[in-house]
């Protein structure tokens, strides 16, 4: 199944193609190597999403380029494919792009990073535009829900890492 947009991988370079809405949400998760390792594992294994109550249906146990995943929120099913991943000493990340049948078209990236002072952050970036009638009808409210979803990712990941701060 093909992607529903042209600039596949743009989130890796934090680019937003013309004609899309951009989102950028950064949440502090905690401090230290143990928090970074735990947050990274929860991100790469879909645990962060599943703890939020989001269905992540995939044959793969971990995010990897080319892995298909269907994101299910209530009755809405959103087919996606992992576009890129990164597992580095201070950065763990993946992004997925939309496939046919997704209510929007675009890409969303989830990045856990550890800064020089040891602070661990989750950054969620996306570019999107509505495709399905209900996403278009939602207008700014749909973008507000996407922003709230990204903020909730940070809260859930912070909770999953509680008690590990250095």
Tell me: the pLDDT tens digits for 57-96? 998 999 999 999 998 888 889 999 999 999 999 999 999 9
Residue 23 lies in a domain: yes
Task: State the pLDDT at residue 166.
Answer: 60
- The answer to whether position 102 is within a domain reads yes
Q: What is the mean pLDDT of residues 13-31?
A: 94
Question: Exposed, middle or buried: residue 3 (CB in 10 Å: 0-12, 13-18, 19+)?
Answer: buried
- Asked, for residue 138, whether it belongs to a domain, the answer is yes
In a domain, 2, yes or no: no
Quote the tokens at residue 142. 């749909």
- Let me know if residue 20 belongs to a domain: yes
> Is the pLDDT assigned to residue 25 strictly greater than 80?
yes
**Paired residues of 5 in beta bridges:** none
Instruction: Find the mean pLDDT for residues 143-163.
Output: 88
Q: What is the pLDDT of residue 131?
A: 79
Instruction: Establish if 166 belongs to a structural domain.
Output: no
Give the contacts of 115 (CB within 8 A, at least 6 positions apart).
Answer: 90, 121
Does residue 4 lie in a domain region? Answer: no
136: how many CB neighbours lie within 10 A of its CB?
13
CATH number, residue 65: 3.30.530.20
16: containing domain: 10-160
pTM of the model: 0.93
- How many structural domains are present in the chain? 1
Residue where the block lists tokens 């859930």: 156
In angstroms, the CA 32 to CA 152 distance is: 21
């Amino acid at each position: 199944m093909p992607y529903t947009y042209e600039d596949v991988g743009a989130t890796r370079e934090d680019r937003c193609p013309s004609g899309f809405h951009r989102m950028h949400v950064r949440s502090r998760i905690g401090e230290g190597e143990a928090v970074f390792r735990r947050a990274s594992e929860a991100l790469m294994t879909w645990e962060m999403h599943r703890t939020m109550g989001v269905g992540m249906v995939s044959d793969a146990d971990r995010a990897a380029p080319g892995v298909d995943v269907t994101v299910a929120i209530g009755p809405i099913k959103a087919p996606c494919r992992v576009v890129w991943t990164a597992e580095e000493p201070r950065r763990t990340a993946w992004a997925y792009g939309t496939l046919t049948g997704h209510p929007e078209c675009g890409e969303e990236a989830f990045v856990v990073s550890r800064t020089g002072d040891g602070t661990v952050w989750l950054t969620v970036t996306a570019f999107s535009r509505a495709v399905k009638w209900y996403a278009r009808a939602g207008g700014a409210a749909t973008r507000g829900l996407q922003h709230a979803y990204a903020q909730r990712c940070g809260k859930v990941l912070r909770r999953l890492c509680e008690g590990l701060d250095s």
